[in-house]
Structure 1
Amino acid sequence: MSDQNRYGDKLIMRKMFVLFALALALIISGVALAQDSEPQYAGLDMDLSGITIRMATIGGGQYEAMYSSIPVFEEATGARVEIVALLDGFAIDQKLKLDFATGAVDYDVAWDHTSFVAQYVPFLEPLNAYFTEEELSQFSPAILEAATIDGNLLLIPRHADVSALHYRADLYNNPEIAEAYRAATGMELTVPTTLEEIDRQARFFVQNGYSTYGYGMAGKEEALTGRFYEFLFASGGALFNENFEPTFNDAIGVQVATLLRDWYRDGILPPDTTSLLWDGDAQNFCNGDVALKLEWYGWYSYFQ
């Protein structure tokens, strides 16, 4: 049986579940559709009795709080949601690669990232017809654009993977540390806005014993590429030009790569950075071992 025939009868389930995913995305992103502060849902007015929706998705860290809304969906619609895989972002992407290559996909919905999704275009159901303009208006146009390839919406956002600078307030609000920084650098200790300032402050905190490490990041496998790209883009660089020719090794790219190398060599980064994904990196920050770091805002409540 062809994949098209095999999964053709699941398209209606996929459509219904996409609306469920929209409801969850609205909850997580804090979109308010009413005057009160209660969570708002969409797609719960459907009768899906007897339908099981199989889902391969991301787990760990702050991701699984979203799934507490699954029972609400199940109770309202009569559907049953079965999570067949709950893996970290890289592991779930590796599973998709293998399953699509071998024809082993036996689930209806999967998590993926905009940076990975282009390789799966032939296997994905475009979502454009499953959403109204009003429903899509709840999302940032830039996020939807990132999830669209050749005019086809292939992902519906659950969150925006945008980094915010997190820092230890006890370091920045300490008058003695501020005075020591002023004496050492001739500058005021304020929250940094450039890589140059981050570098200067991170080194100061470590060299003067205020923090074990100056900066923290997930550096295992593709995570390191993501952090490099983040710094590269913020510095005015790019991985590729408009013709998709590599530009990450230009002067800006070399400067960023050198900065990361020097941080690792000089002990500004933890020595196990290349083994860390987000959970371990977050724990270092919560332990007070790291002075500051860029991180997706979904970790903010965990850091408190």
Structure 2
Amino acid sequence: MKPRIRALVVGGPMYDGLYQTIELFAQHEGVDIEVVRAANHPDLNQRIAQAFAQGAGFDLISTHSKYAPAQKQWLQPLDELLSQEELSAFDTRALELARIEGVLFGLPRNLDVKLLHYRTDRVAEVPPTWEALVLTAKSQPKYGFVFPGKGSGLFGHFFELCGSAGHYLYEADPPYPHAQHPAGLWALNILAALSQSAPKETTEWEFDAVTACFAAGEASLTTDWPGSFHRYKKSPIRDLLGLALYPKGPVRRATYAGSHTFALARSSTERPLALALLRHLTSREAQLFEARQGTLPARRDALEAIRQETPPNTLEASRWYLLEQALHYAWFPPKHPRYAAVEAVVAANLQSFLRGEQSAKATLERMDREGRQAAEGVG
């Protein structure tokens, strides 16, 4: 009988392509592999917590640098399983994101940082500031700027807007929000202004819905992750797509960023095979495969390979340059076991604000109060 391992991974258009390579790996290694896909990251987080609390036998999981601290007790430290030569292929920033209190608990799948996307037939000049972007969005024929109006995506816009006003949203340990700040009010006002040019359904949209709207040609501007690029290349706006760095805020540029990772389960009884699958999913070939779909690889050798095979003087070539530039403005959330709960509180209050259910003052107050309770595990 063949040995058998199980993997629990995040699903969706940005991620599913890579999993097609697992079957060939399984045939080569002579192993049966069951791949369970979660619908999105909140679903994945819930499934991980439930599965390991119940003793379910997963050998490998996909996770994220901001969520892994909550899963640390179930993850296998990797420093003694991987050589320095293997690790040297990865971007040092990506490896640092995969560490928790100095210990490596995952291998980076990518570096995730966003760019401004716009239609070149509607936007003649890239807005240099967020205020200019608001004015440009309001002048558009249908939808101006589209963005996620719930969950992690909405949180991310507020987080990076605060950053562009010179304020890191979190403080203290455990990190809780400090939204009652001039930067917090400015960020809320920008979000409210942008929502005026967005669809009424915005407060029910997450990342994929935003990508679908922009790819269909219904909006003039958005921001998006590298992994969505393959959808735009096949869309009605493929010849009308422009890319740029984020607008500046009152103080700086700041771009919500992070890193997806693959990790081993501490409880795996098939560790050598699980480790082989981990190496496969983070190999040069795997990251080059995803880079061809648009993802910014965490491996330097994969990044160099995709840049060499990209024709010069094209949008694709410009995009690789812009993504590397955008990393200079990356704005990373804190690492903390209760981070996801705090993020959810901030997002829920922002959603209520955009729906007109509470004032800016009440929104900032509640984010601070409820966010601190979530950070401390109260309630």
User: Aligned partners of 1:129 and 1:248: how far apart in 2?
Assistant: 41
Check conservation: 2:153, 2:206, Cα contact below 8 A: yes
Q: Residue by residue, what CA displacement relative to the aligned partner does 1:151-191 show, whole Å, maximum 9, x if unpaired?
A: 1111211122211111112223xxxxxxxxxxxxxxxx422
Which residue in 1 is equivalent to 2:102? 151
**153 and 283 in structure 1: CA distance in 2 versus 1, 3 angstrom threshold:** same
Check conservation: 1:61, 1:278, Cα contact below 8 A: no
Which residue in 2 is equivalent to 1:293? 222
User: Is 1:80–2:28 an aligned residue pair?
Assistant: no
Check conservation: 1:240, 1:247, Cα contact below 8 A: yes
User: Aligned partners of 2:187 and 2:117: how far apart in 1?
Assistant: 20
Which residue in 2 is equivalent to 1:257? 188
**301 and 50 in structure 1: CA distance in 2 versus 1, 3 angstrom threshold:** same
Q: Where do 1:33-182 residues align within 5 Å?
A: 50-100=2-52, 102-172=53-123
User: Aligned partners of 1:233 and 1:137: how far apart in 2?
Assistant: 31
1:215 Cα offset (Å): 1.0
Which residue in 1 is equivalent to 2:127? 192
- The answer to which structure has the higher strand fraction is 2
Which residue in 2 is equivalent to 1:279? 208
Which residue in 2 is equivalent to 1:39? none
User: Aligned partners of 2:128 and 2:70: how far apart in 1?
Assistant: 35
Aligned-residue sequence identity (percent) comes to 28
User: Aligned partners of 1:148 and 1:298: how far apart in 2?
Assistant: 23
Equivalent residue letter for 1:201? T
Instruction: Give the 3-state SS of the residue equivalent to 2:137 in structure 1.
Output: helix
1:245 Cα offset (Å): 5.1
Equivalent residue letter for 1:194? T
User: Aligned partners of 2:133 and 2:231: how far apart in 1?
Assistant: 23
Scaled by the length of structure 1, what TM-score is found? 0.71
User: Aligned partners of 1:98 and 1:129: how far apart in 2?
Assistant: 28
Instruction: Give the 3-state SS of the residue equivalent to 2:94 in structure 1.
Output: helix
User: Aligned partners of 1:219 and 1:276: how far apart in 2?
Assistant: 5
Check conservation: 1:148, 1:154, Cα contact below 8 A: yes
User: Aligned partners of 1:153 and 1:219: how far apart in 2?
Assistant: 33
Higher relative contact order structure (alpha carbons within 8 Å, sequence separation ≥ 6):
2
User: Aligned partners of 2:159 and 2:56: how far apart in 1?
Assistant: 31
User: Aligned partners of 1:241 and 1:287: how far apart in 2?
Assistant: 40
User: Aligned partners of 1:120 and 1:103: how far apart in 2?
Assistant: 14
Equivalent residue letter for 1:286? A
User: Aligned partners of 1:152 and 1:162: how far apart in 2?
Assistant: 23
User: Aligned partners of 2:164 and 2:61: how far apart in 1?
Assistant: 30
Question: Which of these residues, 187, 198, 205, is aligned with residue 269 of structure 1?
Answer: 198
Which residue in 2 is equivalent to 1:29? none
User: Aligned partners of 2:26 and 2:50: how far apart in 1?
Assistant: 30
Check conservation: 1:124, 1:154, Cα contact below 8 A: yes
User: Aligned partners of 2:220 and 2:29: how far apart in 1?
Assistant: 47
Structure whose CA Rg is larger: 1
**71 and 193 in structure 1: CA distance in 2 versus 1, 3 angstrom threshold:** farther
Q: Relative to structure 2, which stretch is displaced further, 78-87 or 161-170?
A: 78-87
The answer for unaligned runs of 5 or more in structure 2 is 234-379
Q: Residue by residue, what CA displacement relative to the aligned partner does 1:223-251 show, whole Å, maximum 9, x if unpaired?
A: 32122213222332212135535323311
Check conservation: 2:14, 2:228, Cα contact below 8 A: yes
Equivalenced residue count is 232
User: Is 1:203–2:155 an aligned residue pair?
Assistant: no
**137 and 248 in structure 1: CA distance in 2 versus 1, 3 angstrom threshold:** farther
**142 and 193 in structure 1: CA distance in 2 versus 1, 3 angstrom threshold:** farther
RMSD (Å), alpha carbons: 1.9
1:253 Cα offset (Å): 1.5
Equivalent residue letter for 1:217? F
**113 and 249 in structure 1: CA distance in 2 versus 1, 3 angstrom threshold:** farther
User: Aligned partners of 2:207 and 2:177: how far apart in 1?
Assistant: 28
Which residue in 2 is equivalent to 1:42? none
1:218 Cα offset (Å): 2.0
1:98 Cα offset (Å): 2.6
Equivalent residue letter for 1:97? A
**99 and 198 in structure 1: CA distance in 2 versus 1, 3 angstrom threshold:** same
Which residue in 2 is equivalent to 1:186? none
1:53 Cα offset (Å): 1.9
Equivalent residue letter for 1:258? N
Which residue in 2 is equivalent to 1:227? 157
**162 and 95 in structure 1: CA distance in 2 versus 1, 3 angstrom threshold:** same
